[in-house]
Structure 1
Amino acid sequence: MNIRPILFILLFSLLSAGTVKAQQRYEISGRVLEKQSKQPIEFATVLIGDKESQKAITGITTTQDGTFSIEIDRGNFYIEISFIGFETVKVEEIDSSKSRIDLGDILLEENVQNLDEVTVVTEKSQTQFKLDKRIFNVGKDLSSSGASALEVLNNVPSVNVNIEGQISLRGSQGVQILINGKPSVLANDGGNALGTITADIIDRIEVITNPSAKYDAEGTSGIINIVLKKEERRGLNGSVTLNTGVPNNHSLGLSLNKRTEKFNLFSQLGIGRRTFPEDTETINRDLVNNTFLSAFGEEEKNETFYNLILGVDYLINDSNIITLSGNYAFEEESESSENNYSFSENDVLSQQWTRRESTEATNPKWQYELQYKRDFKRHEDQDLLFSALGSFFGKDQSSLFQDMTTFGIREDFMQQTRTDFKEARYTFKLDYTHPFAEKYTIETGAQYVLNDVSNDYEVSDFINGGFVANPDFTNIFDFNQNVLGVYTTAAYEADKWGIKAGLRLENTDLKTLLRTTNARNNQNYTNLFPSIHTSYKLTEDLSVQAGYSRRIYRPRLWDLNPFFTIRDNFNISTGNPNLDPEFTDSYEITTIYKLRNASLNFGVYHRYTTDVIEDVITFLDNVSTRMPLNIGTNNTTGVEFNAKYTPVNWATITTDFNYNYFKREGDFQNTSFDFEGDRWSSRMTAKFKLPAQIDLEVSGNYRSRFITFQSEVNDNIFANLGVRKKIFKGKAILNLSVRDVFASRVFLNETSQPNFFLRSRGQRGRFVTFGISYGFGKGEAMEFSGQKRF
């Protein structure tokens, strides 16, 4: 027990009263259980408060078996027991004649909000279902120990992250990533920005497969919102985490929070270094001229990162709060690779050479935000929120490439590249929520996003003892896009039934300029994005939800930039400045059913997309070039199933299954792009509470093979393992995580066409991380720890 607050209270009483009164000491104990299943609730909050002032005196959290014991040296108090997702229990009638007060079993009942939310699980790492989103709380997921934001996302139902860090939702990559509900430089796909977000600073992941009109219309397959932590406990709280692992996986994280009557200061600091080895293989086969090009090699990427978050909340009064926060991140990258090439003609080896790469890069990123929120006394849900956010991301990169012939007459040569990338983004957002007549709510607001990007890229060839710029591969590409959106939604919420409808209007002004050729592409378009969601509660345990929304996918910088890097001269990806945006109509119906020891979620969805952006590969002189094109329409119909089952209080099993069938129709330049196929994925996780406060988690993941217009992506299977041990009464926690336990996560892509065949294979292997976390002040040890992403 921390006796300093008690000593302070006693001393204050002596000085103010001038007399000494004998104080009776009380020892209060009990056990907190879930009412329906009678299972113990760990980390429930037990608060002791003063009856007269109604202010907190002290508090504690329950242990693994739901028990607690706390002492207090004053009378006239009340006891309040609470846990997220449950009704709060307040005990005011207390027999103060006894020094030992045993409250026995305290039963907490789930707080089920009839329309907006159905709580599926009862632990901190629960998944919650709301009218238009699912919330995945990042708390007790042991396989996230030592993980990055991308690895945490890979544990979220319906979400998949491939080896290049591309994020897909229900099999589609048209996903918008938000940080704290807003666009962010940390979520930009122009670089490794998500790498600086580590698991220890993530509070929850919100998956919005069918967003309402309140949300930005960007993202044809939906929105993923990463919500970062911000502590609000009184006093000084903090925790520190230290990780080490193989291969070369080391990091240190520090979290500090200071809460006073008017201010809440919060900060996060993370530094780390990690190595990502990868085995690669590529094959290019010309079936017309009977030539064969293969490359086998190894790559290694080393990253050192620093991440600092600082912020302050200023509570002007009970109704008004201002938040000012900033985030600075800095990465240092070094990358080396060696690939051995072989070239054959008519099955006769004619050339062999080795290509080596050496790359150095620095990536500064910063973000700052001013936010104002006003709550109205008229209604607890009436509020006004304004935020202004600015961010910057830069990349200063240089690479050296050397080709050295080992067989044949191919000449040796060297090239170097220089990249100067800068992106500035400014977001202004205003939201107002107004409930009235008890069952009705209106929301309205506006958002203006300005995005200004410049990419300066230069390739130089080594000629006559010096490097000379190659104008064919050197360019400056400017990208400027401003999006203004306004929206209104109206909702009706009754005891069993409710409906929410909305309309969003967005104007997009896009300008691109390729300075080398002075080629310009200007687009300005205005679109309406309606949405409607409804929910009906059939019984206390069964709810049905349905929704519709219209979405847009705007081509990104790398989709539009017509130039490419020379990292692999034989497999090139290039942009298309003439791309138009995709538009998707999204429909879904979901049922949520709660049983005694299980919860089930089953959904059916359909997406209809026009002006589909599809990568098309052309092949010439053993060089494959991949370029995005707008081609036709796509219909996708799928089913999704999620379940959680707790057969006993020490074991929990969760599963996620998604299947969809798609049909593509379209043609381009007299070529038919019609094709159809299906894909499915599944994830299963088992969690066990073992003796000696040891937790074990095992998860398995599978993604089926699927086809694109020209290619086939092979299936993928891997398993993760996590173990956690609490020590020092939970103030310190030991974590061990193994990701890709059997080193089975192989990414294989094959393209088989009448005139050519392509194969690309990559494998990263097993990652093992050991970490320790310690909480101090009123802080608690992290049940996971942060690390840099791959």
Structure 2
Amino acid sequence: MKISTMKIIFTCLLLITLQQVRAQSILSGKVSDESGNPIELATITLLKTTDTSYVAVAVSDINGAFSFKDLKEKDYFIRISHLSFEKKEMAVTPGVNINVLLGKSSAQLSEVAHHARKPLFVKEKDRLIFNVENGIISSSQSDLISLIRNLPGIFIDHQQNILLNGQEKVLVTVNDRSVYMKGGDLMQYLKTIPVNIVKSIEVIAHPSAKYDAEGTAVINIRTKSKIATGLAGNLSVGTGSSLGYDKYYPRHNAGVNLSLGQQLYSLYANYSVNYKESLGDIHEKLSFYQNSSLEQNVFFENIPDKVHNYSAGIDIKPTARQSISLFYSGSNNSRKVDQVNAIRLKTNDTITDVSSTAIEHYSAGQNAVNLVYRNSIDSANTITFSSDYLSSHKNNLGDYYNEYTKGNNWQELVRNNSFTNIMVWATQLDYAVNLKKGTKLDAGLKYSHVATKNNVEYSDYINNEFKMDSLKSNAFRYKENLIAAYVEVNTHIKKLEIKAGLRYEDDKVNGNSTVNQFRVSRDMSGLFPSLSLNYPLNKAWEVGAAYARRIARPNYVDINPFVYYVNPYVALEGNPSLLPAFTNKITVNAQWKQMYTAALTVFRTTNYFTTAQFQNVDTKEQKLKPANIGDLTNIDLNIAVPLDITKWWESYFDVNLAYQKFAETGAKVLGYPDNSRVTLQLFTQHSFALPKGTSLEFSNTLITPSVQGQFKFSTICSFSAGAKKTLLKDKIELKLSVSDFLKTLKYVGTLQGVYWKSNYQEKADNRQLILTLKYNFINKGKVKVKKPAWISNDEKTRMK
């Protein structure tokens, strides 16, 4: 799209928002403590001035904000209360934005108040909030990968893709800043975020124009944002092991969080280390329509997998309306993988056995710096500037020894050495303004530059030395420049709440091989509108609808024309012809008493891409590479039901019934038949608050047979449980959790090509027992600390 056209579009949208809207009766405000820090979970009760009769109630959000809509009286009375603060009452008038300051409560918290906590799951109009710090199973995990597995509707497939309701590609964000994560990128990035700094995780089914256009849905990781004046922090240690396998695979973790806060500045630092040993077991049997078959059993162990994470930052508040944040984070990861692969090829009357063993050494490191400046110019205007610099490197060295048995024995030794360097620089400017009569306008610009260097060296062991194969070795350079702009309007027409947004992303990609002069150039630009409507039918019922257009772009490494050796019959390969996928999504929903929600979603994705299996029926060699496998049609109904069964038993049920169909388009080189299926996903979570600081938790996930591209999966299910005990007035937390305690979590399925069919099974040491001990120390008084919100996470986590 030309720049002049974009100017016209944005100018028109701005002019529309600046027009007069109909007068509304809205009362909004913010609850803060005496230091100006927002107070979350304050209860605001709205009463009539004439007889103090009840009108409505609201709860302040994480920013201390609250609002009441569709008010008919000219004057009201509000009561504000919070367990840790003094109660307050005041007269108010609709149409005015008010600020409420609460002083500290002089009374000591009672035992009930002391142990009061937020629900594990909170369902809002556009998102599901999972309060991680209140969970036992979730907060006991050593990494975010295991934690995210416990979210309702979230599924991590056998290719390490995070999917919502089975098929929707997910964008992961940190503190509302977008991050596109998939496959190996996702796993590596999540290892760098310690679980003990995560406050909550939000699943946003319909992200607005503020978010990068990547992904059909968003998982937002919100970090803890408050520390005490003076010195505060916590120490944690954890240990555990897998249970019920041929041997124990231990895992240990430890971490420390420190913060030093004053009124004008705050310092904070974090260090954590994770040690993990694990196993994987894959079995595949390929049947060809030529009276031949290929069967392979792969067993591998990660011994060990070590991750070190460290971060430090400073927040400065030079004036009451300005803040500056500088944040640094780094990580180092190393692991060794031992792999044994037994392969048997049957062709008519000939049998070939191959014993393939491999040792892989992997190392990676990442450094990042984030700067944020925020200026609340006045009560209506706010401007935020952010800038990031990131660098990442990783190296994977693998030696593969293959021994063939076919008449005479013979052996071969090959080496695969790959190296990747990635640099990202990104900057963003956001502007927010509160217009007259309840209308809010947000707008922003973003620029990012990504440069990667990728080398792969393939060598054969000949005459007692490794000699590089120049035909298989390669080097690839890649650059991407993205310019994005968005505008979003929030307004009301009587009871109808409207949020309309428009985002444009100009994304240009250029890559070239320095070995064979291969070049690739790609334009992945697009215009991405979004719209959501909400309308309260009465005090109990509210209905809504939403539409969005989204994109899924390939990972940086996906388009590299490299071939990575796995074994004599299997190789991984990049795909420079890979196209981005586009999705159009519509949802209608209804909510009862702001608790129970039902949503019907329809979306269609064109050029859906995932890792596909290409099979040579003559040589029996297999290539796994990302490919546009066709179009996806999805229709699903989701019902979310939170239940407080008793005062001490809290439950959450999430049911999703979906029809999904994959249809290969174009030349149909994969040759799989149209895959379609109705799938049921069921998630339940039960929490039990027992006396004397003891609590229990139980969760389970069930997914009936499903489809994904070439794959047809059998039923997947898992069960987890945990217990928690607090001591010394919550200074000490002791947690014990066991995941997949019935050992039912595994991937079993089939996939089919033109002249072949594969039966596939993959499992790992998912049953794990983890014991964690945490000690909290904190001084009295609290100040706000804004955690870094990375604007470059979209680029950062498309790294592999």
Aligned letter for 1:775? N
Which position in structure 2 is the counterpart of 1:785?
Answer: none
Structure 1 residue 160: deviation in Å? 1.5
Q: Map Cα deviations across residues 518-559 of structure 1 (whole Å, 9 max, x no partner).
A: 111112354211111111122333222211111111222243
Matches of 2:161 and 2:214, distance apart in 1: 17
Q: Secondary structure at the match of 1:411?
A: strand
Tell me which amino acid in the other structure corresponds to 1:613. Answer: F
**What's the offset of the Cα at 1:568?**
3.2
Q: 1:461: Cα distance to partner?
A: 0.8
- Identify if the C-alpha distance between structure 1 residues 105 and 270 changes in structure 2 by more than 3 Å, giving closer, same or farther: closer
Tell me: CA distance 1:281–1:443, structure 2 relative to 1, closer, same or farther (3 Å).
same
Inter-CA distance 700–133: structure 2 relative to 1 (3 Å threshold): closer
Give the aligned partner of residue 427 of structure 2: 428
For 1:494 and 1:275, locate their aligned partners in 2 and report how far apart those are by CA, in whole Å. 58
Paired residue for 1:769?
770
Q: Deviations over 1:270-292 (max 9, x none)?
A: 01211111222222333314233
Is 1:556 aligned to residue 559 of structure 2? no
Q: Matches of 2:473 and 2:340 in 1, distance apart? A: 25
Query: Against the structure 1 CA distance between its residues 102 and 720, is the aligned structure 2 distance closer, same or farther, given a 3 Å change threshold?
Result: closer
In the TM superposition, 1:240-639 aligns within 5 A as 240-246=235-241, 247-346=249-348, 350-379=351-380, 382-405=381-404, 408-493=407-492, 496-524=495-523, 526-594=525-593, 599-613=595-609, 615-620=611-616, 621-630=619-628, 632-639=630-637
Structure 1 residue 189: deviation in Å?
Answer: 4.3
CA contact (8 A) 1:258 1:264 kept: yes
Q: Which residue pairs with 2:721 in the alignment? A: 721
Structure 1 residues 515, 724: CA separation in 2 closer, same or farther (over 3 Å shift)?
Answer: same
Residue in structure 1 matched with residue 81 of structure 2 by the alignment: 88
Q: Is the 8 A contact 2:281 2:297 kept in 1?
A: no
**Are 2:660 and 2:707, in contact at CA under 8 Å, matched by a contact in 1?**
no
Q: Which runs of at least 4 in structure 1 moved beyond 6 Å after TM superposition?
A: 81-86, 100-108, 185-188, 670-673
The answer as to 2:156 corresponding to 1:158 is no
C-alpha change, 1:377 and 1:557, in structure 2 (3 Å) is: closer
Where does residue 231 of structure 2 map in the other structure? 236
- Kindly state the Cα deviation for residue 257 of structure 1 after the two structures are TM-superposed: 1.3
Which residue number in structure 1 is paired with residue 26 of structure 2?
Answer: none
Matched, 1:690 2:690: yes
**2:532–2:544: 8 Å Cα contact kept in structure 1?**
yes
Matched, 1:169 2:164: yes
Q: Distance in 2 between matches of 1:552 and 1:607?
A: 13
Deviation at 1:174, TM superposition (A): 2.3
Cα separation, 2, equivalents of 1:105 and 1:536: 40
Task: Establish whether residue 209 from structure 1 lines up as the match of residue 219 from structure 2.
Answer: no
Give, as a single letter, the amino acid of the residue that structure 1 aligns with 2:584. Answer: D
Displacement of 1:668? 2.4
> Tell me, what secondary structure is at the counterpart of 2:566?
coil
Provide, for residues 501-531 of structure 1, a one-character-per-residue CA deviation record: whole Å limited to 9, x for no partner.
Answer: 1111111111122333211111235421111
Q: Deviations over 1:683-742 (max 9, x none)?
A: 111111123321111111112222344331222111111110111221101011111111
Measured after TM superposition, the shift of residue 416 of structure 1 is 1.3
Displacement of 1:431 in angstroms is 1.0
Counterpart of 2:167 in 1: which secondary structure?
Answer: coil
Within-5 A mapping of 1:632-651: 632-651=630-649
Q: Mark the runs of 5 or more structure 1 residues left unpaired by the alignment.
A: 1-45, 63-80, 94-99, 109-120, 781-790
The partner residue of 2:137 within 124, 132, 143 is: 143
Distance of 2:336 and 2:315 partners within structure 1: 38
Contact conserved, 1:295 with 1:342, CA < 8 A, in 2?
Answer: no
C-alpha contact 1:269 1:308 (8 A) present in aligned 2: yes
Structure 2: how far apart are the matches of 1:82 and 1:555? 39
CA deviation profile, 1:598-634 (whole Å, cap 9, x unmatched): x311101111222333554332222222344445533
Moved more, 744-753 or 428-437: 744-753
- Counterparts of 2:183 and 2:321, CA distance in 1: 34
Between the aligned partners of 2:179 and 2:375, the Cα distance in structure 1 is 23
The corresponding residue for 1:226 is 221
Query: What's the TM-score, normalizing by structure 1?
Result: 0.80
Letter in 2 for 1:482: N
Residue 356 of structure 2 contacts residue 567 of structure 2 at CA under 8 Å; is this kept in 1?
A: no
Letter aligned with residue 715 of structure 1: T
Once residues 730 and 746 of structure 1 are traced to their aligned partners in structure 2, the CA distance between those partners, rounded to angstroms, is 37
Structure 1 contact 287–754 (Cα < 8 Å) conserved: no
Shift of the alpha carbon at 1:779? Answer: 8.7
- Answer whether contact 1:655 1:684 (CA < 8 A) is retained: yes
For residue 771 of structure 1, report the CA deviation from its aligned partner. Answer: 0.7
**Per-residue CA distance 1:583-605 (angstroms, 9 max, x = gap):** 1111111222238xxx3111011
SS in 2 for 1:192: helix
Relative to 1, partners in 2 of residues 1:181 and 1:425: Cα closer, same or farther, differing over 3 Å?
farther
For 1:611, give the aligned amino acid.
N
Note the alpha carbon deviations across 1:156-197, whole angstroms, 9 max, x for none. 222212355321122225222222333569989446221122
Call closer, same or farther: CA 1:639–1:670 in 2, change over 3 Å.
closer
Written as runs of structure 1 = structure 2, the 5 A alignment for 1:742-753 is 742-753=742-753
1:32-83 CA distance string (max 9 Å, x none): xxxxxxxxxxxxxx99x9xxxx679xx9x99xxxxxxxxxxxxxxxxxx999
Structure 1 window deviating more from structure 2 (317-326 vs 607-616): it is 607-616
Task: Rate the CA distance shift 1:400–1:55 in 2: closer, same or farther, 3 A.
Answer: closer
Moved more, 585-594 or 567-576: 567-576
Residue type matched to 2:607 in 1?
Answer: D
Distance 1:518 1:195 in 2: 36
| 1:316 match: secondary structure | strand
Q: Tell me if the contact between 1:254 and 1:270 (Cα under 8 Å) persists in the aligned partners.
A: yes
Partner of 2:786: none
Return the letter of the residue paired with 1:269: Y
Letter in 1 for 2:620: N
Q: Does 1:654 align with 2:657?
A: no
Q: Aligned with 1:193: secondary structure?
A: helix
Q: How far apart in 1 are the matches of 2:108 and 2:414?
A: 77
Per-residue CA distance 1:618-675 (angstroms, 9 max, x = gap): 3222222234444553321111111110111110111112222133445322667644
Aligned counterparts of 1:545 and 1:498: Cα–Cα separation in 2 = 9
Q: Are the structure 2 counterparts of residues 556 and 212 from structure 1 closer, same or farther at C-alpha, using a change threshold of 3 Å?
A: same
| Partner Cα distance (1:734, 1:495) in 2 | 51
Number of residue pairs matched by the alignment: 683
Amino acid at match of 1:545: G
Deviation at 1:150, TM superposition (A): 1.4
**Would the alpha carbon gap of residues 719 and 601 (structure 1) be closer, same or farther in structure 2, given more than 3 Å must change?**
same
Q: Is the 8 A contact 1:293 1:622 kept in 2?
A: no
Per the alignment, in what secondary structure is the counterpart of residue 227 of structure 2?
coil
Contact 1:433 1:442 in 2 (8 A): yes
Residue type at the aligned position of 2:705: R
The answer to which of 197-206 and 404-413 deviates more is 404-413
What code does the residue aligned with 1:636 have? N
- TM-superposition CA deviations, 1:133-163 (whole Å, max 9, x none): 3332212211111331112211222221235
* TM-score, normalised with respect to structure 2: 0.79
Shift of 1:217: 0.9
Give the secondary structure class of the aligned counterpart of 2:255: strand
Paired residue secondary structure (1:559): helix
